[in-house]
Amino acid sequence: MSVPPAAQRMVEVSGAEALWLLEGSSLGRLVYQQREVTVVRPARHVWEYGRLTVRTPTPATAVPATATYHADEIRAVDGTGWTVTVRGPAEVIDDPDERAHHLRTLPGWSHGPHDTLLRLRPRTVTGFRLARAEG
């Protein structure tokens, strides 16, 4: 005998709540276009001073002027969790002191010289909570 899956729903959250969810996590994905192909790279992030600082194994030359960053926490067993997408202008962090600080505090990947630090200033923030539908 099988049990039918529980009905699920997505509830949009406010931008403030979406940023709060993002602040509580540290792992996400940088999404950008390169030669007409969508590229998704794993990333670590920290939210501070109203900006998102991201460490990702992406060549600095490939960082777009406007970047999209996505983070989520989804519990597959019960289908609950959240998802947040942030989009805004991005710039590579060149300051040696700030760069050294973030390289110490944000874990990275063994990907050679392409481990890039960038700062993303959110222009749009979209977030959803994934929940069970009340029946």
Measured in residues, the chain has a length of: 135
Query: Which spans in the chain are helix H?
Result: 15-23, 96-105
**Which pLDDT score is estimated for 64?**
86
The predicted structure's pLDDT at residue 8: 80
Q: Give the residue-averaged pLDDT of 10-30.
A: 92
Residue 48 has pLDDT above 90, yes or no: no
Model confidence at 118: pLDDT above 90:
yes
Residue 33: predicted pLDDT: 86
Q: What are the structure tokens assigned to 87, written together?
A: 């989009």
Superfamily, domain 8-130: Electron Transport, Fmn-binding Protein; Chain A (2.30.110.10)
The pLDDT of residue 71 is 95
Listed by start position, the domains of the chain span: 8-130
Percentage of residues of the chain with pLDDT beyond 70: 90
Query: 105 or 3: whose pLDDT is higher?
Result: 105
Q: Is the pLDDT of residue 4 over 60?
A: no
Distance (Å, whole) CA 41 – CA 49: 24
**Is 64:58 a contact under the CB 8 Å cutoff?**
no
Please write the tens of the pLDDT for every residue from 63-91.
888 999 999 999 888 888 999 999 999 99
Q: Which residues contact 87 (CB under 8 A, 6 or more apart)?
A: 66, 67, 68, 69, 122, 123, 124
Among 45, 18, 40, 17, which residue's Cα sits nearest to residue 29? 40
What pTM did the predictor assign? 0.85
Question: Cβ-count burial of 15 within 10 angstroms (0-12 exposed, 13-18 middle, 19+ buried)?
Answer: middle
